[in-house]
Structure 1
């Protein structure tokens, strides 16, 4: 199961979401590491949390993203998955109050895949770009900020 947090959330907002989702692994960029570094301590809701950085880890306690590709898929346990099983826990934008956890099922995500490129903390991007791309071992081009001219240049390149 996955959930994604807006990188502009405060430490308290990230902590609340990590606790509610019982996070086991938090993947981040080094520039946001300070917001999550203490989430791997035992003071965090009594469950173990590992930290992973997509870019250069700031210290040895943080895993590097490349470690995901060192895993041998044949060593994974087989799991029975139902279309009604929850796979993602995105949080609403909080337009009418505090953000609320939304439970998305395999069936719901499979029927909603579209070409859509919002930030990775947005559910559609998490599902259709990041997770599907990683599963397919596809190259994923990421931009820190959406700028149409830069994006068109990268597409052309």
Structure 2
């Protein structure tokens, strides 16, 4: 079973997004050991201080993680759903746990960027953090369905 962690700044407040996230988490449960770690957003008014504070919390949370770490970022690598499925399959075949990070509203520090294995773009459009979580879970489920030849992706 594949081990995947989503490390995210903030939590989902919108009930309809929460319901969508729960739907995909339930669908993923048979094939993925999935953990979500939520970091509270900084209350700093200065955006740089906010980014730094949240990044320090991310780095602290990453101390407990094993495996490869990827940033979900607007400047990340474009990856089609089938490519993402192949990427996940290779990691699973090698027994590598994966951690994906959704940073705060002002992104992450250069230090966080320097320690990740890579970054992946969820969309060319800007997404809210809540939508990013839902979109990531949907794409993760889609990738698993592609891998096992299910009918979800066609």
Q: Shorter-chain-normalised TM-score: which range? A: under 0.3
In terms of Rg, which structure is larger?
1
Bigger relative CO (Cα 8 Å, ≥ 6 apart): 2
TM-score w.r.t. structure 2 length?
0.26
Give 1 or 2: higher strand fraction. 2
Give 1 or 2: higher helix fraction. 2
